[in-house]
Amino acid sequence: MLKIRLQRIGRKNDPSFRAVLTDSKNSTKSGRFLEIVGNYNPKAGVTNFKTDRIIYWMGKGAKLSDTMHNFLVHQKAIEGKKINVLPKKKPTQKKKELKAKK
């Protein structure tokens, strides 16, 4: 299955990402991809996605990662709600609740 996801590039402590079309079985760090469909620089806050190519590949059956889905919903390139991508751990508890449990 084809997947559109972010791939980290750049030096240590200087993150930047490119959006790539890849097979879902390839690991994110393998470097194998079929097409570069955009890039994202979190330090500068710059996102450049080729939305026409992303929509084309979605029409061919490619799935979006949750983060890419959220970027495209924010840019209004696709319709829908954002997906929670935070870790699914226990909800944070206030200090008073923690003291009450002890």
Please give the domain boundaries of the chain with CATH numbers for all domains.
2-74 (3.30.1320.10)
% of the chain surpassing 70 pLDDT: 87
- For residue 15, what pLDDT is reported? 93
Q: Is the pLDDT of residue 80 over 60?
A: yes
| pLDDT, tens digit, 9 for 90 and up, residues 2-32 | 999 999 998 999 999 999 999 988 877 787 8
- For residue 56, what pLDDT is reported? 94
- For residue 81, what pLDDT is reported? 93
Q: How far is CA 71 from the centre of its chain?
A: 7
pTM across the whole model:
0.78
